[in-house]
Structure 1
């Protein structure tokens, strides 16, 4: 069987702790979807190899979009300059009345194309019609963890259907995993959260939901129920089951001991561009979470608010907003933010042992980046270029599960012109507000 050999490439090494580094002039050997060896460039090991010339490029672990709603690319730019209340109630949830399986699949195909071309090899999704997102992911070759979304207001049949979809997704493809997707602590009641946690524990699912997105949400929970959203997650068994918490900007100091008890199975995804754009007041308290042993990943949220699915943009915004939050320019240094976007994202996807680093034995999710353009030059520290200068367009080649899915900046798995034409043809039907109604009302 022919393997894949990336020759004479610089390799970003991301240790579990400590400083990241770039090792120059390396060969990466891939066989049966896994990295088998990384060695100094020399004579080629015996065997049949598809060779990729990596000279002048940096190989980095595939980026992970730790929290997104991929089909919302269809709403890109259609809900601007709004408060968080109006963003939900006047635009997004009324638009989502228009969701159909076809529209979701068309949006998901566009999202997968955008992410792969930008070096995102895994995305962690939370949305409706997740079977259509899975179909797009399988077609594109990307890796995905998918959580079918549900509200308590939709009724028990809709919840049953979402859970059944998660069960079906978990058997679909080796690159697809599934989580249970209650929307949030303020849209899913305690009984439904308890049921979700029971199913998750019995069947080996994780749970992916929004919680404590803002401090206003946290305060509202305290005022109405006498508990914070983190306390809700604990008392309903959600934390015990294992959970990815989206955002967590309203996590309070008093919540950290709770999260510390479940640090081996809880992760948080931070998407700071969204918090700035919607003037949410706070960003994810990463320093406190890490002190409690909770792993954190970097995400974009949906493009209806983030506008792109560019994790390079997100990771630098995490670094910048965390320095500002802590009033400490030395906090969130280069190695730590790189680790969040790679190993942290792998943990958020439930794949901490198989992706997130370029090491023998791990899945071959590899991105080759060109740092030769003017906006990256001169290179004094390639890590700094990767965090603060690089653009999505600097991605040259992308390998997922040992398969080349982007070669010389072109998708190999999908016809990009067709993907774009389909999205343009249908996008207007999704943002049409003439139907009236909404899938939910935002009033946490």
Structure 2
């Protein structure tokens, strides 16, 4: 039995509804990766119990990056100042012609390091060569759910290979790595392939992670081509019934909400607000309607090729700001609401709604210890506000996943960051080279 205690920290309490709070001077007791008690600090620590120093730090539930493409960190800054169609057709999908397992492995390693150092203990990924992402996650100690991606244009063999890849990830038996099915989107995957994916998901017990209704233009195009919205496509193909994590959902219409509400127990949305602002796509994730329909929403970063970082602190801050601006209501999307999106909401989006997302007895000990003593945070009148509006990724000091310290005093414990960064610098030019020509797909929503 592994036993430890996070000693002398403050603890962020995130209830299912209502105001979050901070309890000072607490000890978090952990056995075999599970929180067994949260007590006032000062109790005697028996011999053999590892002590993690939390003095002067605030313990928060480890954040979840609810939607990302982790290996795309190697494209960071290589596709700027372009509208969405040109971003895909002139940069991203031509770059992905160069993808190899090695490039994915190196990029995923860098991404896992970046996220852990920022207090992200779980990420939900959608990309190619997912076995390599699983390897990087296992090496660094982060928790991950991985969805191998496929397009219908590449034929049924690639589709079936993606299903097999998900099965193979599951068969690895890694405690912190799970798999989902990853059709790209309704505009790149046929109804027949979506139906087949739903069948496999139900038969094999997978969830489905895909992009849908990413923009209002995609929704309009779907209505013109098919007579239905992307959300209606997901319902009629059985994707919603099987259980789905939908990335973005900025094109979700009011008429789609009753459909989603029927599947609220197994549907979630991942919102990546920086992407919508940077790409000037207009509408953003409709939080108010989704909340009224009972649909959980988590915070994500998408890939660093557009988001530039995998910083969920930045994402949650932008959710708060964008929502207040969109609704023209400064009282909407409160501090507690935003913290819940990044913690409980993210955990639910990752399929971990009862296991992570809150520091409570019986949940996994995924914990980030945050330093609120830096000049950009002080003075702290409300630590909850500091977390949402002032905290930086670099304020994270120590991180535990399953009770294991994977970041100690801002340093990774399992891997060498210098080596990870050096490998990324070495191989990144291979990925962003456009000299081969061609593209893995064409964007035409």
Do both share a fold (TM > 0.5)? yes
1:50-199 alignment runs, 5 A limit: 50-172=50-172, 173-199=174-200
CA contact (8 A) 1:212 1:249 kept: yes
Structure 2 residue aligned with 1:48:
48
How far is the alpha carbon of 1:171 from its aligned partner? 2.6
- Write the distance in 2 (CA, Å) between the matches of 1:2 and 1:314: 34
- Write the distance in 2 (CA, Å) between the matches of 1:305 and 1:338: 24
CA contact (8 A) 2:219 2:229 kept: yes
Structure 1 residue 39 corresponds to structure 2 residue 39:
yes
1:239-254 alignment runs, 5 A limit: 239-254=240-255
Unpaired runs of at least 5, structure 2: none
How far is the alpha carbon of 1:46 from its aligned partner? 3.7
- Write the distance in 1 (CA, Å) between the matches of 2:346 and 2:96: 28
How far is the alpha carbon of 1:45 from its aligned partner? 4.8
Deviations 1:207-265 (A, max 9, x none): 00000000000000000110000000000000000000000000000100100100110
| SS of corresponding position for 1:383 | helix
Structure 2 residue aligned with 1:360:
361
How far is the alpha carbon of 1:53 from its aligned partner? 1.6
- Write the distance in 1 (CA, Å) between the matches of 2:197 and 2:276: 28
Deviations 1:36-70 (A, max 9, x none): 11001122254521112211100000000000000
- Write the distance in 1 (CA, Å) between the matches of 2:44 and 2:222: 61
Aligned residues: 444
CA contact (8 A) 2:71 2:108 kept: yes
| SS of corresponding position for 1:170 | helix
- Write the distance in 1 (CA, Å) between the matches of 2:425 and 2:376: 31
CA contact (8 A) 1:297 1:344 kept: yes
Q: TM-score if structure 2 supplies the norm length? A: 0.99
Structure 2 residue aligned with 1:265:
266
Structure 1 residue aligned with 2:235:
234
- Write the distance in 1 (CA, Å) between the matches of 2:42 and 2:359: 19
CA contact (8 A) 2:215 2:281 kept: yes
- Write the distance in 1 (CA, Å) between the matches of 2:169 and 2:364: 20
Structure 1 residue 319 corresponds to structure 2 residue 316:
no
Two-structure CA RMSD over aligned residues (Å): 0.7
Structure 1 residue aligned with 2:433:
432
How far is the alpha carbon of 1:3 from its aligned partner? 1.2
Unpaired runs of at least 5, structure 1: none
Deviations 1:89-137 (A, max 9, x none): 0000000000000000000000000000000000000000000000000
- Write the distance in 1 (CA, Å) between the matches of 2:171 and 2:121: 20
- Write the distance in 1 (CA, Å) between the matches of 2:309 and 2:354: 28
Structure 2 residue aligned with 1:29:
29
How far is the alpha carbon of 1:332 from its aligned partner? 0.3
- Write the distance in 2 (CA, Å) between the matches of 1:267 and 1:47: 44
User: Which deviates the most, 34-43 or 186-195?
Assistant: 34-43
Deviations 1:171-228 (A, max 9, x none): 3201011000000010000000000001101111000000000000000000011000
| SS of corresponding position for 1:28 | strand
- Write the distance in 1 (CA, Å) between the matches of 2:155 and 2:102: 24
Structure 1 residue 225 corresponds to structure 2 residue 226:
yes
- Write the distance in 2 (CA, Å) between the matches of 1:417 and 1:276: 32
- Write the distance in 2 (CA, Å) between the matches of 1:176 and 1:407: 22
CA contact (8 A) 2:2 2:33 kept: no
Give the 4+ runs in structure 1 shifted more than 4 A. none
CA contact (8 A) 2:61 2:367 kept: yes
CA contact (8 A) 1:2 1:47 kept: no
| SS of corresponding position for 2:398 | strand
| SS of corresponding position for 1:160 | helix
CA contact (8 A) 2:5 2:29 kept: yes
Deviations 1:247-287 (A, max 9, x none): 00000001001001001100000000000000110110011
| SS of corresponding position for 1:147 | strand
Structure 1 residue 393 corresponds to structure 2 residue 394:
yes
CA contact (8 A) 2:301 2:310 kept: yes
CA contact (8 A) 2:181 2:201 kept: yes
| SS of corresponding position for 1:317 | helix
- Write the distance in 2 (CA, Å) between the matches of 1:64 and 1:345: 5
Deviations 1:308-339 (A, max 9, x none): 00000000001110111111110000001000
- Write the distance in 2 (CA, Å) between the matches of 1:86 and 1:153: 20
